[in-house]
């Protein structure tokens, strides 16, 4: 019998629709896989087996009754632990939320439940999505399935590792500066950050409200499109949600798989290549450009001069918003509550003790940065200037998109680094996101698709960026590159990953 965990979501959905397999079988297969590889990976913070199987049974019986179901009904999914799930623990990777059971569902959770996708569990992440390695999780790090001594990327390392290791065909990630795309790149998976406002943020535990966006984490571009169409679209509960229908994403992915990009203008951002990029990363990128050219795309070089300031602006805007967003974690209403070990027990001292004990170092570092940047007398110099840079970056993109349909770059400068390698060097860690951050600052969509292995045998990601609300272009170009590269490789990149040792 086929290993159901190796199927793409689209294929599994097809087999479920034809009643070739049941959702219970598919869900159980993934739960078995989770049980087998979790000791090595630690992708999950919570496994939701009973409820997932209950959903699967329900979908199977509805399908048997002839009910018209969503295309992905019965396909299991993993959700990053920053998305609130009613009745399921949600920690955002932080001790301060340990044991908190949300009394409500995020809009994307509601949509996933309504479509009948069994929720396998909640995936590991850097605390409050602050990090690029998942090492800042308060509950232990996740390992990269390609090399267990390496990071799976971050902050959504759990979702990426789960998908890469066949623990789930689909996962939800969130991307504030690259937390979907960078883990996708270093685990050989596909990740998409939709246009800001394209997917509801209602029920995402906010890191930086003006940058956060949830999106799909999958093994194929088509699967991402399927999931994106499920979770995307207007939500009246999110004021920043775009009140327009999504473009046809699945259709664009299907069109892309033909491998024909005739007439597509592809811009190479000169600031996001060259120095600082690992030779293997550069080599794969150049080869991929040739593949696109071969598919009929026109390759042009564009310059985005203000990208130099993107990282600096990002690390002012993000901590500023985060310092305010994280203020609510104070031990008064939910989550951890710590009374001071000495001195009077007052509201203030409990808040201080709770936050002192509940937040990790990286979170504290950013709260301090943000509080400082917003302070009277510093606001204009820091937060104010950062917002100006943001405008300049948006203009850079606007100018670039005036002459191109999509922009491309390597997703990350390097392949997965070793666990612990950058843990004590925040700046080195931050530099990982240099290519992904500009899209968040501008609110535009971005996709990372695997485009080969570097000299070290580890996967490399290729980033595609499109103008706001033109997410369909990502899928067309991404699917074309994927199809053409897989034809060269003779199969998906993940087939080259080492088999994990399985716990019995």
* Residues catalogued as catalytic: 80, 155, 179
Buried b (16+ CB within 10 A) or exposed e, 463-476: bbbbbbbbbbbbbb
d(CA 420, CA 430): 14
d(CA 336, CA 359): 10
CB nearer other proteins, residue 115 or residue 205: 205
Task: Select from 188, 194, 203, 232 the one that contacts other proteins (CB under 8 A).
Answer: 203
- Is 503 one of the binding residues for other proteins (CB under 8 A)? no
CB nearer other proteins, residue 337 or residue 496: 337
CB nearer other proteins, residue 345 or residue 502: 345
Contact track, other proteins, 321-360, x by CB under 8 A: x-xx--xxxx-xxx------------xx--x---------
CB nearer other proteins, residue 321 or residue 482: 321
d(CA 137, CA 366): 15
- Residue 1 CB, shortest distance to other proteins, in Å, is 40
Task: Select from 83, 160, 199, 289 the one that contacts other proteins (CB under 8 A).
Answer: 83
Considering only residues 204-263, where is the footprint of other proteins by CB under 8 A? 204-206, 208-210, 236-240
204: Cβ–Cβ under 8 A, 6 or more apart, which residues?
A: 82, 83, 84, 106, 108, 174, 212, 214
- Is 196 one of the binding residues for other proteins (CB under 8 A)? no
d(CA 332, CA 334): 6
Span of 14-22, 60-68, 99-107, 398-406 interacting with other proteins by CB under 8 A? 99-107
Considering only residues 372-391, where is the footprint of other proteins by CB under 8 A? 374-376, 379, 383
- Is 457 one of the binding residues for other proteins (CB under 8 A)? no
Contact track, other proteins, 102-141, x by CB under 8 A: xxx-x-----------------------------------
d(CA 482, CA 491): 10
CB nearer other proteins, residue 106 or residue 408: 106
Cα-based angle 5, 230, 476 (whole degrees, multiple of 5):
85
DSSP state of 385: H
- Among 312, 334, 279, which Cα is nearest to 103's? 334
CB nearer other proteins, residue 1 or residue 376: 376
- C-alpha torsion sign, points 216, 438, 147, 174: negative
96: Cβ–Cβ under 8 A, 6 or more apart, which residues?
A: 329, 335, 336, 354, 355, 358, 359
64 φ/ψ angles, rounded to the nearest 5 degrees: -65, -30
Span of 244-252, 275-283, 371-379, 396-404 interacting with other proteins by CB under 8 A? 371-379
Contact 416, 355 (CB under 8 A): no
Span of 1-9, 83-91, 218-226, 404-412 interacting with other proteins by CB under 8 A? 83-91
Considering only residues 5-34, where is the footprint of other proteins by CB under 8 A? none
d(CA 301, CA 267): 5
The binding site for other proteins (CB under 8 A) comprises 83-84, 90, 92, 97, 100, 102-104, 106, 201-206, 208-210, 236-240, 320-321, 323-324, 327-330, 332-334, 347-348, 351, 371, 374-376, 379, 383
């Amino acid at each position: 019998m086929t290993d159901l965990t190796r199927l793409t979501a689209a294929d599994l959905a097809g087999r479920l629709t034809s009643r070739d397999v049941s959702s219970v079988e598919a869900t159980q297969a993934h739960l078995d896989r989770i049980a087998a590889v979790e000791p090595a990976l630690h992708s999950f913070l919570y496994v939701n087996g009973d409820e997932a199987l209950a959903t699967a049974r329900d979908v199977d019986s509805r399908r048997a009754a002839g009910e018209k179901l969503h295309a992905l009904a019965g396909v299991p999914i993993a959700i990053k632990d920053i998305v609130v799930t009613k009745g399921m623990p949600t920690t955002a990777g932080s001790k301060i939320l340990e044991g908190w059971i949300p009394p409500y569902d995020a809009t994307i959770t509601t949509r996933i439940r309504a479509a009948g996708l069994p929720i396998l569990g909640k995936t590991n992440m850097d605390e409050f999505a602050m990090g690029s390695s998942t090492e800042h999780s308060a509950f232990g790090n996740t390992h990269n399935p390609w090399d267990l001594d390496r990071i799976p990327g971050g902050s959504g390392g759990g979702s990426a590792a789960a998908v890469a290791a066949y623990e789930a065909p689909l996962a939800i990630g969130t991307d504030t500066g690259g937390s979907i795309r960078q883990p996708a790149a270093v685990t050989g998976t596909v990740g998409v950050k939709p246009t800001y406002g394209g997917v509801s943020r209602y029920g995402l535990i906010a890191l930086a409200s003006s940058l956060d966006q949830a999106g799909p984490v999958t093994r194929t571009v088509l699967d991402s499109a399927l999931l994106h169409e499920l979770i995307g679209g207007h939500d009246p509960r999110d004021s920043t949600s775009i009140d327009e229908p999504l473009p046809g994403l699945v259709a664009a992915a299907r069109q892309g798989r033909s491998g024909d990009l005739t007439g597509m203008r592809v811009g190479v951002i000169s600031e996001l290549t060259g120095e600082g990029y690992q030779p293997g990363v550069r080599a794969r990128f150049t080869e991929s450009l040739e593949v696109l050219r071969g598919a009929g795309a026109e390759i042009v070089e564009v310059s985005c001069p203000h990208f130099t300031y993107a990282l600096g602006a990002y690390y002012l805007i993000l901590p500023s918003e985060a310092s305010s967003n994280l203020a609510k974690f104070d031990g008064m209403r939910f989550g951890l509550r710590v009374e001071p070990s000495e001195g009077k027990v007052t509201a203030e001292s409990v808040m201080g003790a709770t936050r002192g004990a509940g937040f990790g170092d990286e979170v504290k570092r950013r709260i301090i940065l943000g509080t400082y940047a917003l302070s009277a007398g510093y606001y204009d110099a820091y937060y104010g200037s950062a917002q100006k840079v943001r405008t300049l970056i948006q203009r850079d993109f606007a100018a670039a998109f005036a002459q191109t349909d999509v922009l491309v770059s390597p997703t990350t400068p390097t392949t997965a680094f070793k666990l612990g390698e950058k843990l004590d060097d925040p700046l080195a860690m931050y530099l990982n996101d240099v290519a992904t951050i500009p899209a968040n600052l501008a609110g535009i969509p971005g996709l990372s698709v695997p485009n080969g292995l570097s000299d070290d045998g580890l996967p490399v990601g290729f980033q595609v960026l499109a103008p706001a609300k033109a997410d369909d272009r990502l899928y067309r170009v991404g699917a074309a590159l994927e199809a053409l590269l897989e034809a060269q490789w003779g199969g998906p990149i993940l087939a080259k990953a080492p088999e994990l040792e399985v716990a019995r």
